[in-house]
Chains A and B, each alone.
Chain A
């Protein structure tokens, strides 16, 4: 028998399956969330358990500017995707580029913060529990920002080559979901590290 015959009486049901990209991305986000949960739990559990200094309140400064940059990049990427859906590739490229710049500022800020902590304050990943958990959690997030930036840059290059068109809006949106996730994680990391932990 052939597969074609596996049909009951004629039916006129409507059959729409959800797009694969967003579903896959939601699953990836769930997996990444589980990873971050473990790191956040470890951070919270070890708050105040370091046997030697420096302690968080001695060395950490609240990175307000960087936080504003990263959180606004969620808005810019949202606008970029909306312009692409309307077919306005020029505006898309502008807002996409702005997103990359904001992300890069955030990453650069993290670099400066770490350089200050390592060279001026003497806090490394080996110094104490605070150093271990701080660099791991913030580093894991920064790693995700880096991966996101590389992906955004790839799209940017395609855009400059003129390969990105309206029909790619769905894919750009999947990427933007990841970027929003990275931003949401920063809200949690920021709260835990710079507010609760300090």
Chain B
């Protein structure tokens, strides 16, 4: 067994710290870069979580004075920007980096140095954003961290209304990290098209690879418009241009279009990898092959295409023509069809399976229910008349947190537990995992179920406080209490990761009796992944190996 005899040691504490640090900083290995992405995302998850907690403490009772209005504005801007660009995106890219080459039987990504470049661009972007707390005052002394909201509508971003450099830090950090995102997306696409092992035609790729291919395509087509819009904003702010300057004939609505042309596909950039995790984990813990593989692929690509034609449903109240409104209502409704197909396919995969309720599966089941509800409130908000009433209210905030936390973060946690044995070589602690799940799901539902109600009662988002007696008080208390459950759960999760890394029991190469190629090599995999490049005949190569009497390729 050559792969095991040359495997990396579990802990490499023997070498001095500086030499290990040097290895991590200069690495071009897709697994190390994947782990760097993931570690970076976890760090920023804590920062974004602290910002959310500060906001919830401020809102726990009416007329609270925990933070000033200015600080509150910075908190929601930084929370949104951090969670989307420096938590969710790096998580997605980290897992894609780590898993895609392993799952398609490759030894690395197509462009390893581009991979390192992209990671460090993203990391630099995150540091730039947080440096604004120190450097944002600039020469004019206006503002600390950015306070223009995560979609930074014009003309609030103009020099007149955002003096100092806080908005510049926001736009530059997104520009820089956007370049990193595009680089990684190019890398993922090229890896999948050019590096698959022998026998793995596109129709035999693991679903995770297919879904990440779609995600990377969306990044290429959707993050680029954001980059262009940031360039225009920089021209306006630094060179005195007029792109979004209504005083000189420019258009503020233009920025909205450009931002949401990025912003809506971005949701799918994040949720499609979440689908990918569910599509790998649910079958393994149901002991069944995924139901309807070709339909899953078709639905994913379909979602990718439709998601690029729905952006203006973020802008129903801006005063578009009724034709435009109708188009965006219908395209938004249309996206529910392929998404619904996926939910039915996951259910059909579980149906009649031998289900084991390990932590990854629990998080996936939570995801199924929550994603369904998120989709239903999405259809409600996708209807223009309903949206006119509730846009920019806490109903919208509850809706998109249901997607981002209830679907994306839940499957991300599932992915952490599922692949932790592969990445670290050790099993996580199942008891702590279950504690994490139950605390988090209680906290999640306390916060985001009850957040819909003040929204329906007319509470606008982004207000720093409110008057008593509007019927919002008790709901805000419940929402804030849920935050503490979630924070406690995340701390347990981080503790579990650290404890298990040092003390967990050794996992072996295939603890889940799974079927995709990453489980055929050691845990953690050696630098070259596979001693011999594998050859596959079906979508579940390890099933074929373990069951030579009844291999999958007879049926596919």
The secondary-structure label for the interface of chain A is helix
* A45, B3: Cα distance in complex, Å: 59
A62 interface residue (CB < 8 Å to B): no
For A8, give the chain B residue with the smallest CB separation. B537
Contacting residues, chain B, for A8 (C-beta < 8 A)? 199, 535-538, 541, 544, 551, 553
Contacting residues, chain A, for B520 (C-beta < 8 A)? 1-3, 5-6
Instruction: Judge whether A23 and B189 touch: CB under 8 Å.
Output: yes
Number of A-B contacts (CB under 8 A): 164
Instruction: Judge whether B227 and A132 touch: CB under 8 Å.
Output: no
Contacting residues, chain B, for A35 (C-beta < 8 A)? 224-225, 227-228, 231
Given contacts A4-B534, A11-B199, A125-B240, contact A23 B545 (CB under 8 A): no
Given contacts A11-B199, A23-B193, A24-B186, contact A34 B221 (CB under 8 A): yes
Contacting residues, chain B, for A39 (C-beta < 8 A)? 228, 232
A128 interface residue (CB < 8 Å to B): yes
Contacting residues, chain A, for B223 (C-beta < 8 A)? 31
Contacting residues, chain A, for B229 (C-beta < 8 A)? 38
Instruction: Judge whether B242 and A17 touch: CB under 8 Å.
Output: no
Instruction: Judge whether A4 and B225 touch: CB under 8 Å.
Output: no
Instruction: Judge whether B111 and A34 touch: CB under 8 Å.
Output: no
Contacting residues, chain A, for B258 (C-beta < 8 A)? 38, 42
Instruction: Judge whether B535 and A6 touch: CB under 8 Å.
Output: yes
Instruction: Judge whether A126 and B553 touch: CB under 8 Å.
Output: no
Given contacts A3-B520, A35-B227, A42-B254, contact A136 B232 (CB under 8 A): yes
Instruction: Judge whether A1 and B235 touch: CB under 8 Å.
Output: no
* A6, B529: Cα distance in complex, Å: 13
For B551, give the chain A residue with the smallest CB separation. A8
Contacting residues, chain B, for A17 (C-beta < 8 A)? 193-196
Q: Taking each of B220, B227, B251, which has the highest tally of chain A beta carbons within 10 Å of its own beta carbon?
A: B220
Instruction: Judge whether B198 and A125 touch: CB under 8 Å.
Output: no
Q: Taking each of B193, B242, B254, which has the highest tally of chain A beta carbons within 10 Å of its own beta carbon?
A: B242
Contacting residues, chain B, for A32 (C-beta < 8 A)? 224
* A121, B204: Cα distance in complex, Å: 62
Contacting residues, chain B, for A51 (C-beta < 8 A)? 248-249
Instruction: Judge whether A45 and B251 touch: CB under 8 Å.
Output: yes
Residue from B193, B261, B529 within 8 A of A18 (CB atoms): B193
Instruction: Judge whether B545 and A27 touch: CB under 8 Å.
Output: no
Number of interface residues of A (CB under 8 A): 44
A13 interface residue (CB < 8 Å to B): yes
Given contacts A23-B190, A24-B190, contact A129 B535 (CB under 8 A): no
For A9, give the chain B residue with the smallest CB separation. B537
Given contacts A20-B111, A42-B232, contact A126 B509 (CB under 8 A): no
* A126, B195: Cα distance in complex, Å: 49
Contacting residues, chain B, for A11 (C-beta < 8 A)? 199, 535, 537
A50 interface residue (CB < 8 Å to B): yes
Contacting residues, chain A, for B533 (C-beta < 8 A)? 3
* A37, B182: Cα distance in complex, Å: 16
Given contacts A17-B196, A18-B193, contact A34 B220 (CB under 8 A): yes
Residue from B3, B189, B221, B250 within 8 A of A3 (CB atoms): B3
Extra pairs beyond A2-B532, A27-B220 (13, CB < 8 Å): A3-B520, A3-B521, A3-B529, A9-B537, A17-B193, A19-B194, A20-B194, A24-B186, A30-B220, A42-B232, A126-B239, A132-B250, A136-B231
19 contacting pairs across A/B (C-beta < 8 A): A2-B520, A3-B529, A4-B3, A6-B517, A17-B193, A17-B195, A17-B196, A23-B189, A24-B190, A31-B220, A31-B221, A34-B224, A38-B229, A42-B243, A42-B254, A45-B251, A126-B242, A129-B249, A132-B250
Which B residues form the contact surface with A (CB < 8 A)?
1-4, 105, 110-111, 114, 182, 185-187, 189-190, 193-196, 198-199, 220-225, 227-229, 231-232, 235-236, 239-243, 248-251, 254, 258, 261, 509-510, 517, 520-521, 529-538, 541-542, 544-545, 551, 553
Which A residues form the contact surface with B (CB < 8 A)?
1-9, 11, 13, 15, 17-20, 23-24, 27-28, 30-39, 42, 45-46, 49-51, 125-126, 128-129, 132-133, 136, 140
